[in-house]
Amino acid sequence: MQERENDLKAVLATVFKVDIMCIDDNASPDTIEEWDSLKHMMLVLALEERFNISLTDEQTVEIGSYSLIKAILAEYGIEFI
């Protein structure tokens, strides 16, 4: 499970071009300055590619924080516990 956590953090760090240490459970547009609307869409595409899923429009809007991303990925059977 730790490997999935590291994969998710790496996706966010790559998309937002920040150090992976900046990604924690509180990561959101409020804590990551680079998290704007364009990078949000890049994040959606990167998550879909890395985890081999297709997010719905509603889910795309909902992924406004690291913890919400984990919750949505759990809907696809991708667990982080």
- 79 vs 13, residue with greater confidence: 13
Residue 65 lies in a domain: yes
- Given a cut of 90, whether residue 34 has pLDDT beyond it is yes
CA 61 to chain centre: 12
Q: Where in the sequence is the domain holding 43, given as residue range(s)?
A: 2-74
What total of structural domains would you count in the chain?
Answer: 1
Average pLDDT for residues 30-46, to the nearest whole number?
Answer: 97
Residue 81 lies in a domain: no
Distance, CA of 44 to CA of 40 (rounded, Å): 6
Average pLDDT for residues 16-25, to the nearest whole number?
Answer: 95
